Amino acid sequence: MSIEDEMRQFVEEWDKEGLKEMCKSLIDKGKASPEELLKFIGNIMKFIGEQFENEEIFLPDLIGAADTVKDTIDEILDPAIRKSGGEKETLGKVIIGTVESDVHSIGKDLVGSFLFANGFEVFNLGVEVTADEFISKAEEVGAQVIGLSSLLTMSMDFQRQVIEELKNRGLRDKYIVIVGGAPTSEDWAEQIGADGWADDAIEAVELINNLITK
Ligand code: B1M
């Protein structure tokens, strides 16, 4: 069985300890990097999402799976990535969060971890983050980039609201604003005046690298 298949089994069984122990042991033995394991988690959650959409599993299954991977990300993978990051010079400071009214955290956390692994200093504000919280944190830490995640059609408009609030405060030109999340698109980013859109965590790193060097 492949590493990803074995991890999927733990996720499907909501075996938090099993998944954590497996990931920790693979990292400790040098058999997989935390970045690789994060990628597998992304694939697994996409697979679980498809099963949910096809009504093969139901909401409690989804919540159980999401809770299981969240613990492994928070307690094993993110700390391992941070540890391996050492004292390297930061490429820039990025504020990231899921917008108001939206509790989806997994994709946003993947993006945050990938950015960190690629040399950015990341301030992950969590979920249901208001425009004021994004902007206040960006001002406080002197960030260059604000990253807005949205997984719900109903929450997408809060991405626009953050950009509008930046304009109201005369701060729009001070920050690179990027948006992402399943219901968003390049067109949407353009429509709301964001600086860019990324389809996944790897694209988000490339996009921010390109925008920052411009
Ligand atoms: Co919910 N949910 N959910 N959910 N959930 C979706 C998003 C949905 C598509 C499922 C469906 O019905 N088909 C649907 C949204 C439909 C829509 O509006 N278009 C939906 C719904 C409706 C809901 C509720 C309303 C359900 C209910 O209560 N009736 C509710 C909303 C609660 C709220 O937010 N107020 C809800 C709740 C939940 C759970 C709590 C159970 C759980 C989230 C737990 C958690 O995150 N801690 C959950 C989950 C797990 C999902 C699905 C199954 C999986 C999301 C996920 O983690 N994907 C999702 C269905 C799906 O996506 N197929 C679904 C894996 C992750 C790696 O991918 O998040 O897409 P993703 O992130 C990717 C990219 O999008 C991108 O990079 C990431 C990594 O590659 N990306 C960015 C994301 N953010 C980015 C930011 C960037 C750049 C790229 O720059 C800043």
Atom of ligand 1 nearest to the CA of 70: 47
- DSSP bridge partners of 116: none
The verdict on whether 173 is a catalytic residue reads no
Atom of ligand 1 nearest to the CA of 41: 67
The finding on whether 39 has its CB within 6 A of some atom of ligand 1 is no
Tens digit of pLDDT at every position of the chain (214 positions): 899 999 999 999 999 999 999 999 999 999 999 989 988 998 898 888 889 889 999 888 888 898 898 889 889 998 898 787 655 567 899 999 999 999 999 889 889 888 887 788 999 999 999 999 999 999 999 999 999 999 999 999 999 999 999 999 999 999 999 999 999 999 999 999 999 999 988 899 999 999 998 7
The verdict on whether 102 is a catalytic residue reads yes
- Closest by CA position to 137, among listed 95, 92, 179: 95
CA–CA distance, 6 with 22 (Å, rounded to integer): 9
Q: Which of 104, 105, 149, 150 is catalytic?
A: 104
The pTM (predicted TM-score) of the whole model is 0.88
Q: Which of 105, 113, 155, 195 is catalytic?
A: 155
pLDDT at residue 15 in the model: 96
The finding on whether 105 has its CB within 6 A of some atom of ligand 1 is yes
pLDDT at residue 100 in the model: 98
Q: Pick from 104, 134, 192, 197 the residue to mutate for probing ligand 1's pocket: most ligand atoms within 8 Å of its CB.
A: 104
pLDDT at residue 89 in the model: 67
DSSP strands (E only) in 125-208: 145-149, 176-180, 196-198
The alpha carbon of 55 and the centre of ligand 1 are apart by a number of angstroms equal to 16
CA–CA distance, 35 with 78 (Å, rounded to integer): 9
Domains in the chain (CATH in brackets) are 3-83 (1.10.1240.10), 93-213 (3.40.50.280)
